[in-house]
Chain A
């Protein structure tokens, strides 16, 4: 039973005690449970994630990863000797709920750190709150590049990349493996991410390979379940390439329906988020299509910095939740790793003393921390520099779903908008030698 979390094992009595304790703590006057500079008895971390609605396909694996890693940290004695405890809040009800929850986490629960959020809207709303309430906040999964390009924050940091490198690397990969494509159709979800990602892709494509014909721009409703009209249209138009940045149930349905109707035989698909769907759609997705993972997240990463670390992470997750970790799991692992590294750095800077909120926040600037596959550095503008991995699907007998081959790992700096520039402008300055200088592709090793 995926998704029940731990609630299934809790007895009624425990639940009642928990409920009354939680209700009691809610009524306590707020304020800083963390006296500035004093070492807390327990480190509380508020985590905003989707526990309801369609995006819970990411939110629940994220939560599971957090529970797994927090347990691991506590088993090893905590961070700087302090045990950590996650407090989850649901992003499902929308921005005003999350903003209220953010305040509650800070002012009532007295959390020391916050991980927010999956939805870009929630991140955009929470980042200024972080500064206002002076609580270090790690943006753990949201994609929009607007946050640190439009504003600067002292307390908000992103522990992963953003939409620009995620989409740009997929385009570069396409230009490398299929340089002579002449036409493209796009089927994206009709909401901010679907539009934004197409904007990035198109802007970069027009710079690097002008003259590609856009056969169709289709934006089916977010949460759509039936794509037959879109598929028929694309089948008839016969573009060389089909781009879809969709995710979750939408992407699963699109892949299955396109597969049933042999669209994969007529066009090369580019799906920058499909790593998160591979295990569910299985071999309905044929070999030879381009797949990304919003970062260098792949449990079979061809050249991880620390192979033991990746193997341990993937195997533990698999053993616990009966699935290989997908990108939100990696994103959560990065946030947890950043938290650990940040606190340790701040404690060391105070030679063992406990940092204030401001000192902790300052520790995240320029912080470099290990991820399951490599390492991530937080730039001075708060943006994380994370490598990107794009590959081509391959059917292997070892796994019941497609694996990736011909993987290219894009170094973070090469695909990320430099500090102080806006993506829309930077993408127009790209030059074709970028494609020529790409790293070597690495094949799947069974």
Chain B
């Protein structure tokens, strides 16, 4: 698919989201969450390009969400909290990245999982500060001095998520087409070849890792601003698994995939939960299984193959 048609598709998607959010008010919240998760999955996509799967990116999601929750007490301005949270996620991502990029495949995945579980325990442990599993409610937050609340607040957060999604999507697309993207793909296929070419695979992976941490951080901040309540469950391993799940569901072939996947995931969950409150996990599992077995390219793959066939 050409860059132009992909851009058009992304813009059409953005319009569709706005229309849906207008027509079905309760979907505003679901779509905001989906966009946020899509942002985090963009980062997962970068790592997937290198053949690495992180089962611990919920760590950055939760870190940023808690940064917003605690930060809002001091500075209740969303436009400051958002970059601050992303920055902190990036810095922690750099520190952890220096350690984990030395590992590959299952060890990479498990180390990330272990670290996010440690963070989960920390959130539960420092209960006097974090209220443990009860979580923290965000104090009132402002945007440019105006309170972020009510319907206008919902639209504002949705707008921020949408802008971030478009910007990050564009950036990741550029990055993937650049030498960095080639090098990432090189890690997956023949890592030693990179060494021969004088490119340090660790440094390449580190760059991708930090970028993914920042995007997960943005996602966490958006989630905090929209649910206005953060709990340690954000950093539990199943949240990380969910992100990987979404990446595959959407398809790793394009930067639009993560958002398609996130929207499909959230909507499937909501509809499944509404229809079979008892067995929504089963429905979700079946959907994922169906996608993997019958459409390994994910939803994105389905769209492109149909276009090619037509």
A and B touching (Cβ–Cβ under 8 A): yes
Residues of A within 8 A of B (CB): 4-5, 7, 18-19, 22-23, 26-31, 51-52, 88-90, 93-97, 99-101, 103-104, 106-108, 119-121, 124-125, 128, 132, 144, 146, 190-193, 195-196, 222
Q: Of B149, B270, B279, which is within 8 A of A104 by CB?
A: B270
Q: Of B26, B131, B228, B269, which is within 8 A of A106 by CB?
A: B26
Q: How many cross-chain pairs have Cβ atoms below 8 Å apart between A and B?
A: 113
- The answer to whether B30 touches A100 (Cβ under 8 A) is yes
Most buried by A among B149, B150, B276: B276
| Residue B99 CB within 8 A of the other chain | no
Q: Which 6 A-B pairs have the closest CB atoms?
A: A192-B132, A107-B26, A125-B229, A192-B134, A191-B133, A192-B133
Q: Of B25, B135, B269, B276, which is within 8 A of A93 by CB?
A: B269
- The answer to whether B277 touches A51 (Cβ under 8 A) is yes
Chain B residues within an 8 Å CB radius of A101: 270, 273
Chain B residues within an 8 Å CB radius of A196: 134
Bound Cα distance from A445 to B281, whole angstroms: 46
- Number of B residues with CB within 8 Å of any CB on chain A: 35
Chain B residues within an 8 Å CB radius of A5: 278
- The answer to whether A99 touches B29 (Cβ under 8 A) is yes
- The answer to whether B26 touches A191 (Cβ under 8 A) is no
Chain A residues within an 8 Å CB radius of B26: 30, 100, 103-104, 106-108
Contacts A89-B273, A94-B233, A128-B137 given; does A51 touch B33 at CB 8 Å: no
Chain A residues within an 8 Å CB radius of B137: 124-125, 128
- The answer to whether A191 touches B150 (Cβ under 8 A) is no
Bound Cα distance from A52 to B304, whole angstroms: 37
Bound Cα distance from A294 to B127, whole angstroms: 23
Bound Cα distance from A428 to B233, whole angstroms: 33
Chain B residues within an 8 Å CB radius of A30: 24-26
- The answer to whether B277 touches A90 (Cβ under 8 A) is yes
Chain A residues within an 8 Å CB radius of B134: 120-121, 124, 144, 146, 192, 196
Bound Cα distance from A124 to B231, whole angstroms: 11
Q: Of B25, B33, B124, B231, which is within 8 A of A107 by CB?
A: B25
Q: Of A7, A124, A195, which is within 8 A of B127 by CB?
A: A195
Chain B residues within an 8 Å CB radius of A192: 127, 131-134
- The answer to whether A195 touches B132 (Cβ under 8 A) is yes
Q: A51-B277, A95-B135, A125-B227 are in contact. List 5 more A-B contacts (CB 8 A).
A: A7-B279, A22-B274, A31-B25, A124-B229, A196-B134
